[in-house]
Amino acid sequence: MNTAGSGDRVIEAAVWDAPVMRDALRQRDIRAVFVLLRRHGISQRRIAALTGQSQSEVSDIAKGRQVMAYDVLARIADGLGCPRGLMGLAYSPDTEVSAALTAGPVAAREVDTMPDRREFLGVAAKAAVGAALSVGDLALLATPAHATPTPARVGASEVESLRALTRALWVQEKQRGGGVVRDAVIAQLGWARQLLQATHTDQIGQQLYAALADLLSLAGWASHDVGLSGAALRYLGQSMAAASEINDPLRTTLALEQVARVYLRQDQPCEAVKVAQLAQVAAARTDIGQAHALVASTAARAHAEQGHLLAALGALNSANAALESAGGVLPEPRGFDAAALASETGRVLSIAARHDRTHAVRAVDTLTTYTATTDPLRVKRRAISTAQLAAVHFRAGNPDEAVTAARVALDLAASIRSQRLGNYLNEVRLEALRHPRHADAAELAHAVTTYRA
């Protein structure tokens, strides 16, 4: 956050989240941005001081002068503390991780001011007759984004509330996809960071860092699920940073394993193997068998993508051995049990079948067994595995079984917002197009196209 003395008004991060502000930033309509900031009580003098412009320049822009130069746009974004990405500007090296862990003091609660009576009634009159509202009208209606005041002292109840909400959001992600929860997770991050800045004991501080690491991990995974790989890596990096603050190897392991999956989705299996090896180093500092199994299964997928099938099968054996060990378990809803490993095994074998068709039969058997389960928590996992079952059926020469499985996957996908699931279904579509004389396959390809649209 930007401050210039204790008496100056802080531009809170939530200001940039308002839909009307987002629209103005996306269009690089700096005039509208300045008007909206004025509605939040940010003076032209303050804007000028933050952006390094003269007050007359700010005034000219507020009166309609366009800002086109990239360097000026970047300076305005950086000065105001607005994420450059909201204006489609490239990021320079920044201090996101540091900001996540050492955010500045939370601004004091601001006065709830009434909108100008005449202007407000003018907007109401337009709405009554069905007239379109202008940007200025919407700016008048924009709700100033004040941070919810934090408790004077943070204790166990606040930590448990944060944990409970994070668990609930994880459940929603696993059931309905990252697209459903991502915005809520990112909004909750602001609250978690505020709690860290409040007064608390060292023990509560440790618990807060752990909760923040979990929430950042979810933000990264939800970003990955909707196709925002860059954001995913940044959030996961912040999760590792939070875990390192309290020397928590388990949370470091989980974040690294997720990073490996992001690289896998980016078709970079070599990088995924390297990160999985780092995750194994971190996991060696824990006695959680499920963590070791999870990392080994991800390493198996990376090896399979490279065509190193013996290494992939060896990693799966390691994952099975880790689950059979007497080690502890991961907390739900992030547990990795025998059913989850069966799903991952089926995925690895389906990848292997692309290199060697002899693995197709075992892939079909493994995925068929897993997809017959009805775990209400892992609906998205079951949908992805069912899509993979359909694809491997096509590759094995079983188009009828493939179409049946794909229809089930599409039914499951109807309530899920996940680009990753859409990508797996697209693989099914491509396989279906290899069977142009199969009427149901052609119909299926069209249905997947419609779903992805």
- pLDDT over 60 at 158, yes or no: yes
According to CATH, where is 1.25.40 located in the chain?
Answer: 337-453
The answer on pLDDT for 45 being more than 80 is yes
Q: CA-CA distance, 293 to 280, in Å (whole number)? A: 10
Least confident of 142-146, 198-202, 300-304: 142-146
Q: Residues 110-141: pLDDT tens digits?
A: 445 667 778 888 888 888 888 888 877 777 77
Average the pLDDT over 203-227 and give the result: 95
- Which residues, 6+ apart, have CB-to-CB distance to 363 below 8 Å? 346, 349, 350, 352, 353, 392
* Mean of pLDDT values over 183-209: 91
Q: Is the pLDDT of residue 333 over 50?
A: yes
The residue that leads in pLDDT, 57 or 145, is 57
DSSP, residue by residue, 237-297: HHHHHHHHHTT-HHHHHHHHHHHHHHHHHTT-HHHHHHHHHHHHHHHTT--BHHHHHHHHH
Residue 327 has pLDDT above 90, yes or no: no
359/349 Cα distance (integer angstroms): 6
Give, in order, the Cα–Cα distances in Å from 48 to each of 26, 98, 156, 370.
Answer: 21, 26, 43, 60
Phi, psi angles (nearest 5°) of residue 199: -75, 130
The average confidence (pLDDT) of the chain is 87
Residues 261 and 298: beta-carbon distance below 8 Å: yes
Residue 227 or 99, more confident: 227
| % of residues, the chain, pLDDT over 70 | 90
- 338 contacts: CB under 8 Å, gap ≥ 6: 323
Query: 412 near 382, Cβ under 8 Å?
Result: yes
Q: Which two tokens stand for residue 443?
A: 């119909």
The answer to whether 235 and 187 have CB atoms below 8 angstroms apart is: no
47-61, 114-128, 158-172: which has the minimum mean pLDDT?
114-128
The torsion defined by the Cα of 400, 401, 403 and 406, in degrees rounded to 10, comes to 180
- What's the CA gap between 424 and 384, in Å, rounded? 7
Backbone angles phi, psi at 325, to 5 degrees: -70, 170
Does the pLDDT at position 30 exceed 70?
A: yes
Stretch 177-204: mean pLDDT: 91
Other Cβ atoms closer than 10 A to 22: 12
Whether this model's pTM surpasses 0.75: no
Q: Topology of 337-453 in CATH?
A: 1.25.40
pLDDT of amino acid 113: 63
Q: What is the pLDDT of residues 175-186, one digit of tens each?
A: 999 999 999 999
Q: Which residues pair with 153 in a beta bridge?
A: 199
In whole angstroms, what is the distance from residue 176 CA to residue 180 CA?
6
